[in-house]
Amino acid sequence: MGIQTEEMMLNMGPQHPSTHGVIRFVVKSDGEVMTEAVPDVGYLHRSIEKIGEICEYNGFMPYTDRADYLSAMNANQGYAMVVEKLLGLEIPERAEYLRVIAAELNRIISHILSLGAVAMDIGAATPFVLALKEREKVNDLMEALCGQRLTYSYVRIGGVSYDMPPGFIERSLKFLADFEPFMDEFENLVPENKIFIERTAGVGVITREDAIAYNLVGPNLRASGVDWDLRRDMTYSVYPKLQFEVPVGVGSQGVVGDSFDRFIVRIKEIKQSISLLKQCFAQIPEGDFLGEIPRVMKPAVGECYVRTESSRGDMGYYLISDGSKNAFRVRIRTGSFTSMSIIEKISRGMMLADLVTFIASLDVVAPEIDR
Amino acid sequence: MENFAIHIHESYLYGLPLSVVNLIVMFGAAFVVLLGFVAPFAGLLSFIERRIAARIQCRIGPNRVGPQGLLQFLADGVKSLFKEDLIPKVADKPLFIIAPYLVFLGMFTSFVVLPFSSQWIVADLNVGILYLFATAAITVVGLVMAGWGSGSKWSMLGGMRSAAQIISYEIPTGLAALTAILLAGSLSLQEIIAAQGPHPWQWYFFDNPFTFIAFFILFVALVAEGNRAPFDLPEAETELVSGYNTEYSGMRFLFFFFAEWAHLYVLGAILTTLFLGGWQVPESLLASVGAESIAARILELVFFQLKIYVLVFLVVQLRWTVPRVRMDQMMDMCWKYLVPIGFFCVAGVAIWMMLFPDGVSFVKYLLIAFSSAMVLYYFYKVYRNFKDSRAELELNPFV
Amino acid sequence: MSSGYFNNIKEATVSLFNGFAITLSNMFRKPVTLQYPDKTPRSVTDLMPERSRSWLKVEMPICTACLNCEKACPIDCIKITTEKDPSGRVMSGFDIDMAKCMYCGLCTEPCPTGAIHFIPEFERASFSLDQMISRFVPEGEKVVPYKVPKKDKDEEKNSAKEEAEDKAAEAEPDA
């Protein structure tokens, strides 16, 4: 009865325009509809964790940039915090504020790039370029702050490497003033577009239970309706002194936890970051930007785990010290890795075009998966 | 055309039989059209598209080769010529080789019936509009062949998509064109234009509400037929890498793009011919240069081109504004929206013609007023958006 | 059902209209492109901010050969060789492999005199890895390390830096 049909095995990646780096998906498809998409990670493994064991504590800082190059400041901050906890260092308050300013600026540009990439993968090139245009402005700010545009290594153990340059607050506030109308326009251009809604609404729905079971973190978790943000719930740095809301997916297009919700949650987080930055600029105290640090860093024997809220969610650093100048073990826990694990489950029965949307909406960054 | 052939025969090639001379003249004409007309147009359109896209994205665009980058397309063409012509090992060689030419053929044969002015037309076929749709259908054969012949799964998916897409969208295209054909009572493009007039209230676009809707249906359907965004599913680069042309390189690759931009022009020409009065020039203007002079023909050509380029601009802008639709949504749009509305329009026009054989000027003026109001509101919104963005004004298109 | 049908058409038209209004308004905005390298308003090095971490430079006249930078470098791209000479300790080589360097700036921080620092120059791509090595001690020559005067230890760093600037100005023709 009927014609014998066979599933087609497609190799999506490692080189593919929409895998955001070298990730490979083994897709079994029946024409446009696929039955399975199995992610195959490891193409970008650079043994960053192993390098952490042969570098001195300070020397590992530039490598944390490379672990998640789209939000290097957040990665820096997490590593600095874990070493400080191990050493029992107190850091000056101004340094904490500088770190939060840098981290929130970084969160804005990481999210705006992710939003642009979703639009790009759905087929609209303009929002992506416009997003990059705004990202460049922040990159200019970052370059003025620390001298680099992508891999900042701005944070140091015990503080930060530079104080703010003169006029930095004015420049940043001017940027934020121009950025807010841009976000309004971006919202008008992308998430209010009918085709965009049709393409993302109801695509790649992650239920609340699934999101918790698969250990999703950050915006992906919140989009599924879980009200959890480390900045508020396991607070660190100066976040307790700042007022902000945690946006949660509400299912504005019918289902909670679809790609559209993830998109909207990121937009809302950008707006929260803008308000956080304004508060920081208003509150930042005078003082040192780098505290007293020991000349040779030799923490006592022990282990330590610190979690921070990076742009892609819970970023954890686990450090074991054996009392020497180098760490005995460094382990980085990243959000993109867990995001990859859920793709296999959700993607069953999806269309090929939807898989692209789904991956983009999860905001996975290849180097963060493999490290 | 035939007169020209006879003239050539009598003056120069009287030794040869007339049929052979005819053939030579035809090939000569095709050669001239291809080299002197389609190529610069497709190339120029590629330049225009890139510059528009660049400005939409706050960039500058190609501006190094020639004056303001105008010769960029030549540089790209020469580069493509020198590229290695790769043919994959698993490709179905004959299909792989022929496919781009078929695609290109489908596009550029349509130039034969395009009425550039009241007298400048290669062949005023009495079934001109059917011919246009028929030649466009050759393209799909080429695309499927390219998709299958490449021996790549991504290409095949692209080829399949294009087949489904172009065949589906033929129907709304035909239905929407039927409204204009009904009004004009002819299939000849020249006669359809002649039935309209130079002024907007004489265009079929504003003739009645049904043709007004039919114009937009035709617009969407033609965009879809040309594989332009938001209907560029066959080559969706973020999904299928590059769809049917993934495996192509060099000049063959360029032929696909040639066809795409040629189609852009044909799209504008079809819409202009059917709904926007084609080459019609106001008589007072025509009389001032002499109705029979060559200047009048050039004036007609300019009017025709202007209308085409406005439409081309809209299509290009559409590409850089909206995301791509999904396969099932594209089919939904065709079969659930465009086709029923198309039938509705055809029936509406027929009834309208029965009830008001001479048209209703009140409705025409109402439609014109409505359209003008929308255009004004559009420019107001553009102005608001510009003000809100606090960006610097830069009107010079050649920065 | 039927309301959804027409609602879809309405939403699509309205959102398309809004999108068009945005993209057209974009066309009147000033492009942000910087036409590197030949049409920049100023020279590119002037456009770089003061702290720009681009290319490493060592002011040899004030280098103390303390090897702090070599130790701080996480990827060991700095290589300093010292020798015993009748006149004391001399440097026979100070190589920085810029192809390896990841521009983290860790080497500039422990420097007691500020001899190793970044300069806002980056257009030094080259076809061979060998050319990417900056050699601050010419081959066959020996450089005597700078000795910080002991008079005022507190102002050590500041005075050294001032002196460094003076010396750097002198050393400019070499660079």
E-strand spans in C21-161? 55-58, 78-85, 88-97, 116-119, 133-135
Residues of chain B neighbouring C8 (CB-CB closer than 8 A): 337
**Residue C2 confidence (pLDDT):** 58
The Cα–Cα gap between B124 and B127 comes to 8
Q: Is some CB atom of chain A closer than 8 A to the CB atom of B318?
A: no
Q: Where are the domains of chain B?
A: 88-357, 360-399
**Residue C175 confidence (pLDDT):** 36
Confidence of residue B376 (pLDDT cuts 50, 70, 90): very high
* Tens digits of residue pLDDT in A191-239: 888 888 888 888 888 888 888 898 888 888 888 888 888 888 888 888 8
Q: Is some CB atom of chain A closer than 8 A to the CB atom of B392?
A: no
The Cα–Cα gap between B5 and A368 comes to 71
Give the closest of A18, A178, A182 to B239, CB-based.
A18
Q: Closest residue of C to B394, CA-based?
A: C30
Residue type, B292: E
The Cα–Cα gap between B338 and B333 comes to 6
Token output for B366: 């109402």
What's chain A's length in residues? Answer: 371
User: Cα dist. B87→A17, B91, B101, B140, B259 in Å?
Assistant: 22, 7, 15, 21, 20
The Cα–Cα gap between B254 and B83 comes to 11
The percent of residues above 70 in pLDDT, for chain B, comes to: 93
Distance spanning both ends of chain B, measured CA to CA = 44
Q: How far is A347 from chain C (nearest CA, A)?
A: 27
Instruction: Say which residue, B194 or B12, is predicted with more confidence.
Output: B194
Report, as an integer, the average pLDDT of B145-172.
Answer: 86
Mean pLDDT over each residue of chain A, to the nearest integer: 86
* Tens digits of residue pLDDT in A7-27: 788 888 787 877 777 888 888
Pairing of strands C133-135, C88-97: antiparallel
| Residues whose CB falls within 8 Å of the CB of residue A27, separated by 6 or more in sequence, listed in order | A9, A10, A11, A12, A34, A36, A37, A38, A352, A355
Give the closest of C12, C32, C53 to A147, CB-based.
C53
The Cα–Cα gap between B56 and A127 comes to 10
The percent of residues above 70 in pLDDT, for chain A, comes to: 99
Q: Closest residue of B to C15, CA-based?
A: B322
User: Contact A356/B239, CB-based, under 8 Å?
Assistant: yes
**Residue B114 confidence (pLDDT):** 82
Report, as an integer, the average pLDDT of A168-182.
Answer: 88
User: Contact B326/A199, CB-based, under 8 Å?
Assistant: yes
Largest distance between two CA atoms of chain B: 74
Q: How far is B222 from chain C (nearest CA, A)?
A: 17
Query: Which helix (H) or strand (E) is A11 found in, with range?
Result: strand A8-12
Distance spanning both ends of chain C, measured CA to CA = 77
Nearest to B151 by CA among B193, B105, B92, B202: B92
The Cα–Cα gap between C168 and A168 comes to 29
Q: Which chains touch C (3 or more CB pairs under 8 A)?
A: A, B
Tell me the CB-side half-sphere exposure of residue B95, using CA atoms within 13 A: 20
What is the CA A127 to chain-centroid distance, rounded?
20
Q: Closest residue of C to A54, CA-based?
A: C74
Instruction: Say which residue, B336 or B240, is predicted with more confidence.
Output: B336
* Tens digits of residue pLDDT in B242-256: 778 888 888 888 888
Q: Is some CB atom of chain C closer than 8 A to the CB atom of B383?
A: yes
Q: How far is C107 from chain A (nearest CA, A)?
A: 10
Q: Closest residue of A to C109, CA-based?
A: A161
Q: How far is C98 from chain B (nearest CA, A)?
A: 32
* Tens digits of residue pLDDT in A60-69: 888 888 888 8
Q: Is some CB atom of chain C closer than 8 A to the CB atom of A133?
A: yes
Residues B167-177 as b/e (b if ≥16 CB within 10 A, e otherwise) read ebbbbbbbbbb
What residues of C are in the A interface, CB distance below 8 Å? 8, 11-12, 15-16, 18-19, 22-23, 26, 32, 48-53, 72-74, 102-106, 109, 118
User: Contact C32/A136, CB-based, under 8 Å?
Assistant: yes
Cβ atoms of A337 and A15 within 8 Å: the answer is: no
Q: Quote the ipTM score.
A: 0.82
For the CA atoms of C129, C131, C136, C138, the dihedral, rounded to the nearest 10 degrees, stands at: 120
Residue type, A102: A
CATH of domain A49-359: 1.10.645.10
**Residue A326 confidence (pLDDT):** 84
Q: How far is B384 from chain C (nearest CA, A)?
A: 9
Q: Closest residue of B to C26, CA-based?
A: B56
Q: Is some CB atom of chain C closer than 8 A to the CB atom of A55?
A: yes
Q: Where are the domains of chain A?
A: 1-45, 49-359
**Residue A157 confidence (pLDDT):** 86
A186: pLDDT strictly greater than 70: yes
φ and ψ at B48, to 5 degrees?
A: -60, -45
User: Cα dist. A151→A70, A102, C118 in Å?
Assistant: 8, 13, 16
User: Contact B239/A352, CB-based, under 8 Å?
Assistant: yes
The Cα–Cα gap between A38 and A347 comes to 9
Please give the order of strands across the beta sheet that includes A327-333. Answer: A302-310, A313-321, A327-333
Assign residue A302 a region: left if phi > 0, alpha if psi is -120 to 50, beta otherwise? left
Give the closest of C18, C22, C51 to A165, CB-based.
C51
The Cα–Cα gap between A158 and A156 comes to 6
* Tens digits of residue pLDDT in C107-119: 888 888 888 888 8
User: Contact A17/B238, CB-based, under 8 Å?
Assistant: yes
Among A66, A194, A198, the residue to mutate for chain C (most C Cβ within 10 A): A194
Q: Which range has the worst mean pLDDT, A344-358, B143-157, C150-164?
A: C150-164
